[in-house]
């Protein structure tokens, strides 16, 4: 979930949920859930109106587009890579290490 909030909203899950301290690093492309909620009632979601000269527009879709270009590769790597690493890591850890078992057996350690 943190990978998704980092990729789409350029912030971690705690700050996205509104529990973090956003005052020190808040900028127009970091969007939180409270800012999105305020946008439903006419707010600007923390996006500066003069931001967006050039490629990105000062709208929520422009912000998400910018964040996907900046953080999309890492987001996909985390979403795809972490489950694969755990799957194969679990398989590797499941197999007993026979050399260690042979050394521990005379000491009376049961495995």
Residue 83 near residue 24, CB atoms below 8 Å: no
The stretches in the chain having pLDDT less than 50 are none
Q: How many structural domains is the chain composed of?
A: 1
- The three-point CA angle 69-74-76 to 5° equals 90
Burial class (CB in 10 A: 0-12, 13-18, 19+), 24: exposed
Strands (E), 35-86: none
Structural domain includes residue 32: yes
User: Is residue 91 included in any domain, yes or no?
Assistant: no
pLDDT in the model for residue 105? 78
CB atoms within 10 A of CB 9: 23
Residue 88 lies in a domain: no
Report the alpha-carbon distance of residue 36 to residue 45 in Å, rounded: 5
111 domain-assigned = no
Overall pTM > 0.85: no
Residue 53 has a pLDDT of: 56
Question: How many Cα atoms are found within 13 Å in the side-chain-facing hemisphere of 5?
Answer: 15
- Position 63 scores a pLDDT of 84
Domain extent, residue 23, equals 2-82
CA separation for the pair 53, 57 (Å, rounded)? 7
Helix axes 60-94, 2-9, angle to 10 degrees: 150
Residue at 10 is within a domain: yes
**What pLDDT, in 10s, does the model give residues 39-59?**
888 777 667 766 555 666 677
């Amino acid at each position: 979930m943190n990978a998704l909030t980092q990729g789409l909203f350029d912030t971690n899950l705690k700050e996205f949920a509104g529990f973090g301290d956003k005052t020190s690093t808040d900028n127009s492309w970091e969007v939180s859930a409270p800012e999105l909620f305020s946008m439903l009632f006419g707010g600007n979601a923390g996006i500066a109106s003069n931001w967006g000269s050039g490629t990105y527009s000062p709208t929520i879709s422009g912000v998400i587009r910018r964040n996907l270009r900046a953080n999309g590769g890492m987001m996909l790597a985390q979403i795809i890579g972490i489950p694969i690493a755990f799957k194969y890591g679990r398989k590797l850890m499941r197999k007993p290490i026979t050399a260690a078992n042979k050394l521990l057996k005379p000491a009376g350690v049961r495995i």
